[in-house]
Structure 1
Amino acid sequence: MSKQIKEMARQIIQDIGGSGNVVSVTHCMTRLRFNLKDMSIPQDETIKQIAGVLGVARSGGQYQIIIGQTVNEVYDAVVAAGNLNQSAPVNEQITEDLGTKKWTWKSVGNTILNKIAGSLTPLIPMLIAASMFKMLVAVLGPTMLNVISVKSDLYQLFSLVGDAGFYFFPVAIGYTAAKQFAASPILGIFLGAIMLDPGLVKIVAAGKPFTVYGIPMHLTNYGSTVVPILLSVWIMSYVERFFNQKIPASLRTIFAPTLTIAVMLPLSLCVLGPLGGFLGEYVSKAIISFGQLGGIAAIIGVGLIGALWEILVMTGMHLVLISAMITIVAQTGHDNFIMLGSIAASMAVAGMSLGASLRIKDKQEKSLALSYFIANFIGGVTEPGLYGLAIKYRRPFLGMMIGGFAGGIYAAITHVSAYVVVPVANFMCLSGYVGGSTANLINGVISGAIALIVAAIATYMIGVEPKAKLQ
C-alpha cells in the first residue's frame, strides 16, 4: 500500500469527523460508503480537495466518497487508519433511492454517465496494456522504425494481444456492466460472448438474412463495440430480476438464467445491438447532407464530423460515414469532407489527453493521462483517452469536441483533400493528405496541429476534475 493512499485514508477519516463518527463503512465498485453518526460534520468541498477523491454524494442515508478504480485499496487503508470493522462490498444499483430521490433531467443524465463510467473505468488497466502492445507494433513495425517485419512471430504476437484487448470489449463490459446494474456478472459475460461468437461473425460476414425466433436480425459486427452490450446488460438486469422473483427457488437455478438469455436474444440481436447502426444511419446522412449543400454548410459539416466523430465511433454510429468515405475515395481518388473531420478528431483525442495531463494535480492520474496521450499520438489508440478521461471526467469531452471542430473547420476553409485512407489514429494519419500539392499537405498537417493544440488548451481551460480540486 503506497504512502499516497495511506495519507489519503488518514485525511478522509479526519475530515468525516474521525473514526468515532463512523457507524460502518463499506464500498462498491467506485465509492466508499459511510454510515455516519453526524452527517453534518463532513464538509463536501474540503473532502473533494483530498488528492485522489473524484467527488462526494449524500444518498440513501450514506456519505459516499467517489474514488474510482482504486477503491479497494483505499477502503483497506481507511479501515486500517480508523481501526474500523470491514464489511462486504455492495453492488451499486441503478435503482437505488428511487423512492426518495427527486429525479430531474440533470440527475438522470448524471446517473447514466455514472453507470457508463462505472462500467468502463475498471477496464482501464486492460486498455492501457493493450494500447502499449499496439504502440509497440506501430513503432517497431514497418510503418515507423521497421525493426520487426509483419511476418515475424513477435509482430504477430504483439498485434493479437493488442487487438484482443479491444475486440473483446463486449465480454469485458458484460462483466463490469453487470456489476453496475446488479445483474449476474457471469450472464453479462455470456451475453457479450454471444455477440462475438464465431458462428454469429460468420453469419454477419455472409450477409444473408437471419432471424431470431422469426424476427429479422440486423447484421452487425459487435467486435470492439461498447453501447450494444451496455444497453443489453441494463435491460437484462430487469429481465433476470423478474425471473428470480417469479420462479420458485427449487427451479430458479436452472430456469432463471436460461429464460433470461432466451428473452435477451431477440432484444440484444434484433433491437438493442443494431440500435447504434439505425441511429447512425440518420445522423450520418444528416451530416453528409451538409457536404452536399456546399459553401459554409459544407465547412460546418466538416467541423461537426471533427466534433462528433469519436461519439459516433463509440456508439457504432459511424459506419455509414466510413462507407461513404470509402466510396468517395474509390470514385474520385480523394475526399474533402468526411476524412478531414475524422483525422482532426483523432488528433483532438491526443490533445485532450495532453491538456488533461497538464491540468490534473493528482500524480497518478496525471501520469495516466500522459500515457493516454502517448498511446494515442504514437500508438494510434484512442480508447484509453476516451474512456479514461472523456467518459470518466466528462469535462474533457467538451475540450476534445472543440479541438476536433476547430481542426475540421481549418481543413475545410483551406480546401484540403485527403488522398489515402490511413487506418491508424496516430500522427501517421496526417499522411492521408499526401498525394496532392505541397500546400495541401501543409494545410492538412496544420489542421491536425490545430485540433491537437486547441483540444489541449480547451481541456486545460475547462478543467478536468471538480473545480475545488484545481485551485
Structure 2
Amino acid sequence: MPNTTSLNLLSPVSGNIIPLTKVNDPVFSQELMGKGFGVEPDKNKIFAPVSGIVAYVAGTLHAFGITTADGAEVLVHMGINTVELSGAPFTLNISVGQSITAGQEVGSMDIQKIKNSGRPKTVVVAITNTEDYLKDIKVEISKKNATETAALVTPKIVKPKEKPNISYSQIATEIIKNVGGKENIKSLIHCITRLRFYLKDESLANDKAIRSIPKVIDIAHGAGQYQVVIGQEVTNIYNEIIKQIGTDFANKPIKNDSTKHFTFTQEMKKGLSSFLSVLTESIAPLVGILGGAGVFKGILAILVQFNIMNKASVTYLLLNSIPKGVFYFIPVLLGYTAAKKLHSNPIILAVVGAILVYFSTVATYLPLPTILTNYASSIFPIIFAAWIAKPLEKLLKKTIPKILQTMFLSIIEIIILLLIITVIAGPIILVASYKLADGVDIVYNWNPGFIGLLVDGFYQFLITMGLHWIVIPVALNDLATNGHSYLNALLSITMVAQGGAVLALAIKTHDKTVRNKTFKASVSAFCGITESALYGFILKHKRIFVLSNIGSGIGGLICGLLHVNNYALTGSLVGILSFVDPNVGINTNFLNAIIAHLSTLLITFVLVYFWGTQKKSNDQR
C-alpha cells in the first residue's frame, strides 16, 4: 500500500529543541545531511527517536542510524566534531541489524566531557534520505523531555520497494554471516564489480542466502576465490565489510599450511591463483583512469584532425600531457597499487617506478639495447619488484641496526630493487613482455576473423569463472608495448553483445519493473560493466546465454575481418572514441569499429528478441 502515515520523531535526549538551521555546523545547518532538528541536551541518556532497524553505528560511537519500516533513514549525531574524541564521551548498547523501538534507551553521552573538549554538545536528528522520503516536517521548538515528540514528519507517497531498503552496513553484516562468519574468512579483496573472498572452507558459505541479499547479483567461483558479484556499488560494501571484520583482512597475504602436502598440479593452481590475485588488485584501481585517458586521447586527435586545436599550441601540449602522463608513468601507479596488494611499502615502490621511468629517459644516451632500458609504460617489472620487496625489507630490518634504519633502510631497499630489476630480472621480463605482445599479434594475424569468433564466442565463460582477469593484463601489455591492442578491440565487442541481449529483454517484457532493471543493465553493459547483465539476466536463461555468445562471436568475427584496432584500456559504446587513431584521428579503423559494434548490437538483439524466450515467458525474472 502507498505510504500515507505520519512519522513521529521523538527527542533522543532531554533538552531544548532548536531548528536545524541554528546548529553550529554548516553541514547540518545548511541541511546537507537532510532535514531535522537539533537538541541542546541537559541530560546524558540517549533514546531511539523512531522504531526500526539499526543501520549504522559509528566506530567512535558518536552517531547511529535507524531505518524505519516505511523507509525513513534517521541519523542521530551526538555533539559537533565529536568524531575527533575517539568515542571517549559515548556508550552505545546497540548493534547493526538490531530491531529497536521508539523511546528505547540506546546509550549515553557525557555532556561535561564534550564541553571540556571545547566542542558544542548539540545532538542532531536528521532524515538523511530527505529528498526521496520527506514531504514535510514540523518541528516543535520548545523544551522537551527525552522520548517526547519533537517533530511530525509527513512522508511522500511512495511505492513499496521490491527488496528491503537496508544500508551498506546491513548488507555487509549479512554477507559476513553467510560466508561462514569472520572466522571463515582468510582475506578479502575486490575488483570493479566483485567481492573476492579467500575462505577457509567454501562449503560453509550459503549461496542461496547470499544471492537473496539486496545489491548482490550472483555468486561465482574462480582463481581460488569465493566471488560475490555486486556491481558498481562494490567499493561501498567492501569498505563496510572491512570496517566490521577489521583491516587485517584487507588484502591479507594467504599463508600456506606447511603441514599439508600438495601435488604438482595443486601447487600450480595455487600459484596461478596467487598470480591472478596480484594482477587483479594491482590493475583494477587503474582501469578507470586508463580508460578515461584513452578516450581523452581520441578526443584530442579529432580536435587536431578538424583543425579545432593546433598540435603546436600550449593548450594542446598541456591537455595531451594527461593521457601521455598516465600511460608513461604506469610503473609509478602500478608500483603503488601492487605494493598495497603485496603489503610492501607503496611509497618505496612508487619511487622505484619513478626511477625506472627516469632511467628509461637517460639510458637512451647509453650504449645499451633499447629493449633493456625501456621501462616507461611497462607493467610487469614493477609488479615483480613489489613481489620481492616485502621479503627484502624483512631481511634488511634484521641486518641493519635499528638506529640506522630510519636514515638508510629505504634508500638501501631502493638501490637493491633497482639493481635486481635493471641488471637481472628486468631485461628478462621486458623481453618476455615484448614476446607476449608479439605472440598476441602473431596469433591474431594468423586468422583475425577466426580468432575474433573464438575469443568473443567464449569470453563470457571466462567471466563466469572470474578468469577474465587473465586476459586484461595481456591487453594492457599490448597497449603498453605497442600503443594499440587488437585483443582489447575484441573484448569491447563482448560488452556490446551482452548489452544488446538485455536490451532485447527490456523491449520485449511487459513487466515494468523487469523492464526498468533490464534497461539499467543494458546501459551498464554499454558503459563497460557487464556483471548486472550477465548475472542478473543472461545466465539465468540458458538459451539467452547461448544466443548472446553467438551474437558476440559473430561480432568478433566481423571485428577481426575488419582488423579493428583499439588504443586504450576501455571499450563498449562508451569507449568508442578509444578506437580513434591518436596519430591521425578519424580513419577507416574508427568507422570499422562503429560498424562492428553496431552489427554486434543488432545481431544479438535480434537473436534474443525472437528466439531468447518462449512465448509464455515474457517476464524475464
TM norm structure 1: 0.59
CA displacement 1:396-440 (0-9 Å, x = unmatched): xx999968973576359xxxxx9xx997884445999x99xxxxx
- Does residue 352 (structure 1) correspond to residue 494 (structure 2)? The answer is yes
- Does residue 87 (structure 1) correspond to residue 246 (structure 2)? The answer is yes
Contact 1:130 1:164 survives alignment (8 Å):
no
Q: Structure 1 pair 47/366, CA: closer, same or farther in 2 (3 Å)? A: farther
Within the candidate set 283, 294, 297, 1:134 is matched to: 297
- Does residue 96 (structure 1) correspond to residue 255 (structure 2)? The answer is yes
Tell me what 2:328 maps to. 167
- Secondary structure of the structure 2 residue equivalent to 1:224: coil
The Cα shift of 1:194 comes to: 1.0
Give the Cα–Cα distance (whole angstroms) in 2 for the partners of residues 363 and 162 of structure 1: 32
Give the Cα–Cα distance (whole angstroms) in 1 for the partners of residues 227 and 473 of structure 2: 30
- Does residue 406 (structure 1) correspond to residue 557 (structure 2)? The answer is yes
2:350 maps to a residue whose letter is I
- Does residue 188 (structure 1) correspond to residue 335 (structure 2)? The answer is no
Q: Structure 1 pair 285/368, CA: closer, same or farther in 2 (3 Å)? A: closer
The Cα shift of 1:220 comes to: 3.0
Structure-to-structure mapping, 1:151-166, within 5 angstroms: 151-166=312-327
Unaligned runs of 5+ in 2: 1-55, 57-127, 130-163, 457-470, 503-516, 535-548, 569-576, 609-619
- Does residue 123 (structure 1) correspond to residue 286 (structure 2)? The answer is yes
Give the Cα–Cα distance (whole angstroms) in 2 for the partners of residues 284 and 121 of structure 1: 20
Tell me what 1:47 maps to. 210
Q: Structure 1 pair 450/268, CA: closer, same or farther in 2 (3 Å)? A: same
Give the Cα–Cα distance (whole angstroms) in 1 for the partners of residues 554 and 381 of structure 2: 28
Contact 1:56 1:66 survives alignment (8 Å):
yes
- Secondary structure of the structure 2 residue equivalent to 1:274: helix
Say which is worse superposed, 125-134 or 173-182, in terms of deviation.
125-134
Unaligned runs of 5+ in 1: 211-215, 292-297, 323-341, 374-384, 390-397, 413-417, 436-440, 462-469
Structure-to-structure mapping, 1:322-341, within 5 angstroms: none
Tell me what 1:336 maps to. none
The Cα shift of 1:452 comes to: 7.9
CA displacement 1:435-467 (0-9 Å, x = unmatched): 9xxxxx79x966984588569989x99xxxxxx
Say which is worse superposed, 177-186 or 269-278, in terms of deviation.
269-278
Contact 2:311 2:317 survives alignment (8 Å):
yes
Q: Alignment identity in percent? A: 20
The Cα shift of 1:168 comes to: 1.5
Which protein is richer in helix relative to its size? 1
Give the Cα–Cα distance (whole angstroms) in 2 for the partners of residues 363 and 123 of structure 1: 27
- Does residue 269 (structure 1) correspond to residue 422 (structure 2)? The answer is yes
Give the Cα–Cα distance (whole angstroms) in 2 for the partners of residues 44 and 135 of structure 1: 43
Contact 1:29 1:91 survives alignment (8 Å):
yes
2:476 maps to a residue whose letter is M
The Cα shift of 1:114 comes to: 1.7
Aligned residues: 386
Tell me what 1:108 maps to. 271
Contact 1:281 1:317 survives alignment (8 Å):
no
- Does residue 300 (structure 1) correspond to residue 451 (structure 2)? The answer is no
Q: Which has the higher contact order (CA 8 A, sep 6+)?
A: 1
Q: Structure 1 pair 201/305, CA: closer, same or farther in 2 (3 Å)? A: farther
2:390 maps to a residue whose letter is S
Tell me what 1:202 maps to. 362
Which protein is richer in strand relative to its size? 2
2:237 maps to a residue whose letter is V
TM norm structure 2: 0.47
2:311 maps to a residue whose letter is V
Structure-to-structure mapping, 1:355-370, within 5 angstroms: 355=497, 357=499, 370=526
The Cα shift of 1:264 comes to: 1.4
Q: Which has the larger radius of gyration?
A: 2
1:348 maps to a residue whose letter is L
CA displacement 1:133-190 (0-9 Å, x = unmatched): 3354245x1335x544434444333221232222221111111100111111111111
Give the Cα–Cα distance (whole angstroms) in 1 for the partners of residues 198 and 417 of structure 2: 36
Give the Cα–Cα distance (whole angstroms) in 1 for the partners of residues 495 and 230 of structure 2: 20
Within the candidate set 311, 315, 319, 2:477 is matched to: 315
2:367 maps to a residue whose letter is P
